[in-house]
Structure 1
Amino acid sequence: MRRPGFVFGAATASYQIEGAAHEDGRVPSIWDTFSHTPGKTHQGDSGDVACDHYHRYAQDVALLADLGFDAYRFSIAWPRVMDADGRINERGVDFYKRLLDQLDAHGISAWATLYHWDLPQHLQDRGGWLNRDTACRFADYAEQMGRLFKGRMAGWMTLNEPYCSAYIGHTEGRHAPGLTDARYGVEAMHHLLLGHGLGTSALRANDDAPVGLVANVCQVTPASESQADLVATERAAAASNHWPLDPLFLGRYPAPLRELWPQAGAPIRDGDMAAIGVPLDFVGINYYFRQVIASDGGHGFVVQPLPGVERTQMGWEVFPDGLRDLLLEFKQRYPQLPPVYITENGMASDDAVEGGRVHDAQRARYFNSHLAAVDEAMRRGVDVRGYFAWSLMDNFEWSYGYEKRFGLVHVDYATQQRTPKDSALAFKQFLSQRRAGA
């Protein structure tokens, strides 16, 4: 990781931190609707206020700088910068200009995600990602952002975790918009990826900054060497890892998906796969855990938790070797794999401030072990160029509300007091030593 130019940053997302849900012309998003629907989030929590980053962004950027990070991955809220008629909302754009000014003042590079799940509700009312036209509206949005922020971004990321938007939002229903049909998940994924391809071209027509997509992946391991479990694991890998990546780099959807969801088919039209497969400047990888997979006795699979392994507050297994192994697998599976950035990696724990400190030794160990896994992958030939910790601060964790804390910085939601955790101080020391060449 001493490669010149290697980026170390922290990451956030608009709906999870910004708040100010009804200020300066912002229009509702699907997450405003979903979080205000009874029973959809923990204790009815919403992002109405969140971390109040909309008003405290200067303080938060100063925290980034004090911790020694040289990059910040954030997302632009589509509902904040465009109105229901597709016109620019200047007040919303001005917020991001002020944020970028603060980042510039501290020498921190800006990496912007265009879509981190907060689809404008007015587009959902017309079908959302089940409507092919939403991909075109996304391209319009990308074109405008590329034009307005030309020369100000170190990198653009079109979509964050399309698997979550498609499957968790449209098949499982645990995320907005809360639909529950396998066909919807497959259709939404195709339109998301089509939007990515069209949006990538729109960005490049207006800005020279590199463009990529962010995919979440997890290591999958068979529960046994039985043929049934091996086949189930292949299907789990197809769904969890290859579903968004194969179309980008192989020009097709993974075959096991047809067995997993035989009733569902992507609504592919002529030219779609070419648009989706537009060459990328980089790919972002989000990694958190491993799953052990067993056959469900039919076409699908089940997750079979291992006893006695280390887990996080989310119940996710801590398995750093999985990140290394996935990076090596992708290098082999995708001959045209572009440079990689680890765009999210982190863990939730039940943190509390005690005597002005937050002791989160497990998180510090988590970061150390996963950074070591990335370093080993790099030594074995994977072109990794940066690492973004998730997350800069505790925030609204989607359907889990404010119960789960992923931050390097603790947030007291009643007072909005920020307290760097021990893991943040350890990261600060690591980055300081790295700059000093120790």
Structure 2
Amino acid sequence: MTKLLPKNFVLGGATAAYQAEGATKEDGKGKVAWDDFLEKQGRFKADPASDFYHRYPEDLELCEKFGVDGIRISIAWSRIFPNGNDQEPNPLGVKFYHDLFKECHKRQVEPYVTLHHFDTPDTLHKEGDFLNLDTVEAFARYADFCFKEYEGEVTKWFTFNEVWPVSSCQYLTGTFPPGIRFDYSKVVQSMHNIMLAHARALNLFKEKGYAGQCGIIHSLETKYPYNRDSIDDQRAAELADTLSNKFLLDATFLGEYQEATWNNIQEILRSNDAHIEVPYEDIVEMKQAASQLDYLGINQYQSSFFRSYKGDNDIHHNGTGEKGTSVFKLKGVGEAMFDMAIPRTDWDWLIYPKGLYDMIMRVKNDYRNYKEIFITENGMGYKDDFEDGVINDTPRIEYIKQHLEAVSDAIRDGANVNGYFLWSLMDVFSWSNGYNKRYGLFYVDFESQQRYPKQSAYWWKELHQTRELK
């Protein structure tokens, strides 16, 4: 039986400033920590990336032609305030986003704008990023500026993209700058402080009566026990879920941490000789924001299966697409399993659409004050073959179709999900994979910067016209 998507369901494409724009040193843009971090690694850099900074009119024209009616864009904080907390904004950076949003509306593509997508200005990052409460305040000031400056041009805002990956990749896996590994105090404190920054920005948005709506985006991977009959594996999955999902969902929708959540976090922290500080004043701000949140963005690419593990921390990040090389063992939590009877990508990401359905329903059932959900990222990294301008990416089409079917099922079962944003609109730079991991509807030749629609783009266009998942 063919499943249908609602008539007004947004079919969008997702991007991020640092991954798409390029132009990292143009028109007064300030440095971000990634600039030096990538240069030190010497593997790849984010310039020119997809050259969205200069070619956005072409990309938005493709959106209009192929039925992409919403676009996730992030504002590069360091284009607006080059050092993060400058007294005056950079006029060329401010103008760029005015021009970009004008082109969006010209092409009838609604902009959904994220304020922070992994790119804190370098000056603030060197001072501790969100471990430093001065960065929390600087972010709120930057957010308030954007809300006011682009009012009328942007009505859909997100404060942060993927709080868990920001904190865990900076301080657990070491794959993001500053490249620290296994510091659980920093991981959890960073998450809490980012949620405080989100709350402060959202409260400003509501207090000042800006037009539009504002939410936050979380990366939410459903965690399952590897052996569903094993009490130890069930506990490992629960702890993994608390660390990466429940801690943030509680902060988002409740403004505080439930007793079971807090107890699990403390158990993980004790296992790793770690601690965090959560002042009462933070909870007051977070509760105020929780009652005013307009929507949640869910990013999900895979689900995880955990089994009990009693050893030390051991992580190997598969950043090359060498299938079978991933290792993810967390002391005091559990071990993620990859070699299972479930399809997976070359990067060991398990393809399990039911996980998306389960997470949507979990939010609906566990946090009754939620209002609206968008799937803000979902997609398949793939080594696309370019053959005379033809890119047959049938596996990506099947991946998208299966996950949209999961969304359709959740809508049928009462969840208020109003849009799906494919990661990514066009091929972009990947933080830890460079350019060999492609996600886009549109193939980018990174040398010539030419765009080529993939088979998935033509499938998407038909989906947009018919709303039929066939």
TM over 0.5: yes
Q: Which amino acid aligns with 1:54?
A: Y
Q: Tell me if 1:6 matches 2:5.
A: no
8 Å CA contact 1:411, 1:419 repeated in 2: yes
Q: 1:318 to 1:355 in 2, by over 3 A?
A: same
Q: Which amino acid aligns with 1:268?
A: V
Q: Distance in 1 between matches of 2:113 and 2:177?
A: 22
8 Å CA contact 1:111, 1:157 repeated in 2: yes
Matches within 5 A, 1:22-101: 22-38=25-41, 44-84=43-83, 85-101=86-102
Corresponding pairs, count: 433
Q: 1:386 to 1:52 in 2, by over 3 A?
A: same
Give a deviation string over 1:201-236, Cα, whole Å, max 9, x none: 223326221000000011211111222111101001
1:293 — aligned with what?
A: 306
- 1:123 Cα deviation (Å)? 0.5
Equivalent in 267, 270, 276 of residue 286 of structure 2: 276
Q: Distance in 2 between matches of 1:328 and 1:11?
A: 23
8 Å CA contact 2:380, 2:399 repeated in 1: yes
Q: Distance in 2 between matches of 1:297 and 1:83?
A: 45
- Report the 3-state secondary structure (helix = DSSP H, G, I; strand = E; otherwise coil) of the residue aligned with 2:196: helix
- Report the 3-state secondary structure (helix = DSSP H, G, I; strand = E; otherwise coil) of the residue aligned with 1:136: helix
Q: Tell me if 1:259 matches 2:267.
A: yes
Q: Distance in 1 between matches of 2:341 and 2:237?
A: 22
8 Å CA contact 1:8, 1:69 repeated in 2: yes
Report % sequence identity: 35
Equivalent in 393, 398, 407 of residue 365 of structure 1: 398
Q: Distance in 1 between matches of 2:398 and 2:170?
A: 32
- Report the 3-state secondary structure (helix = DSSP H, G, I; strand = E; otherwise coil) of the residue aligned with 1:24: coil
Backbone CA RMSD of aligned residues: 1.7
Q: Distance in 2 between matches of 1:339 and 1:171?
A: 31
Q: Unaligned regions of 5+ residues in structure 2, if any?
A: 312-331
134-143 or 399-408, which deviates more: 399-408
- 1:5 Cα deviation (Å)? 3.0
- 1:83 Cα deviation (Å)? 2.8
Give a deviation string over 1:56-75, Cα, whole Å, max 9, x none: 11111111111111111110
- 1:429 Cα deviation (Å)? 1.0
8 Å CA contact 1:146, 1:206 repeated in 2: no
- Report the 3-state secondary structure (helix = DSSP H, G, I; strand = E; otherwise coil) of the residue aligned with 1:326: helix
Q: Which amino acid aligns with 2:147?
A: G
Misfit runs of 4+, over 6 Å: none
- Report the 3-state secondary structure (helix = DSSP H, G, I; strand = E; otherwise coil) of the residue aligned with 1:201: helix
Matches within 5 A, 1:211-290: 211-224=214-227, 225-253=229-257, 254-255=261-262, 256-262=264-270, 263-277=273-287, 278=289, 279-290=292-303
Equivalent in 414, 428, 432 of residue 395 of structure 1: 428
Q: Distance in 2 between matches of 1:416 and 1:72?
A: 20
- Report the 3-state secondary structure (helix = DSSP H, G, I; strand = E; otherwise coil) of the residue aligned with 2:98: helix
Q: Distance in 2 between matches of 1:99 and 1:86?
A: 24
2:316 — aligned with what?
A: none
Q: Distance in 1 between matches of 2:442 and 2:268?
A: 40
Q: Distance in 2 between matches of 1:329 and 1:411?
A: 37
Give a deviation string over 1:369-394, Cα, whole Å, max 9, x none: 10000000011111111111110011
8 Å CA contact 1:171, 1:183 repeated in 2: no
Q: Which amino acid aligns with 1:376?
A: D
Matches within 5 A, 1:273-422: 273-277=283-287, 278=289, 279-297=292-310, 299-422=332-455
Q: Which amino acid aligns with 2:130?
A: W
2:21 — aligned with what?
A: 18
Q: Distance in 2 between matches of 1:418 and 1:330?
A: 37
- Report the 3-state secondary structure (helix = DSSP H, G, I; strand = E; otherwise coil) of the residue aligned with 2:73: strand
Q: Distance in 1 between matches of 2:220 and 2:253?
A: 15
8 Å CA contact 1:31, 1:118 repeated in 2: yes
Q: Distance in 1 between matches of 2:307 and 2:165?
A: 22
Q: Distance in 1 between matches of 2:87 and 2:12?
A: 32
- Report the 3-state secondary structure (helix = DSSP H, G, I; strand = E; otherwise coil) of the residue aligned with 1:419: strand
- Report the 3-state secondary structure (helix = DSSP H, G, I; strand = E; otherwise coil) of the residue aligned with 1:288: coil
- 1:241 Cα deviation (Å)? 1.6
8 Å CA contact 1:145, 1:203 repeated in 2: no
8 Å CA contact 1:143, 1:206 repeated in 2: no
Q: TM-score when scaled to structure 1?
A: 0.95
2:329 — aligned with what?
A: none
Give a deviation string over 1:350-371, Cα, whole Å, max 9, x none: 0021121101100000011100
1:170 — aligned with what?
A: 171
- 1:4 Cα deviation (Å)? 4.7
Q: 1:336 to 1:265 in 2, by over 3 A?
A: farther
- Report the 3-state secondary structure (helix = DSSP H, G, I; strand = E; otherwise coil) of the residue aligned with 1:385: strand
Q: Distance in 2 between matches of 1:73 and 1:368?
A: 20
368-377 or 276-285, which deviates more: 276-285
Give a deviation string over 1:277-308, Cα, whole Å, max 9, x none: 31200000011111110011262200122434
Q: Distance in 1 between matches of 2:37 and 2:136?
A: 21
Q: Distance in 1 between matches of 2:88 and 2:123?
A: 13
- 1:243 Cα deviation (Å)? 2.3
Q: TM-score when scaled to structure 2?
A: 0.89
272-281 or 92-101, which deviates more: 272-281
8 Å CA contact 2:338, 2:348 repeated in 1: no
- Report the 3-state secondary structure (helix = DSSP H, G, I; strand = E; otherwise coil) of the residue aligned with 2:36: helix
- Report the 3-state secondary structure (helix = DSSP H, G, I; strand = E; otherwise coil) of the residue aligned with 2:113: strand
Q: Distance in 1 between matches of 2:345 and 2:225?
A: 21
Q: Which amino acid aligns with 1:276?
A: M
8 Å CA contact 1:215, 1:286 repeated in 2: yes
- Report the 3-state secondary structure (helix = DSSP H, G, I; strand = E; otherwise coil) of the residue aligned with 1:242: helix
Give a deviation string over 1:371-421, Cα, whole Å, max 9, x none: 000000011111111111110011111011112111111111111111111
1:208 — aligned with what?
A: 211
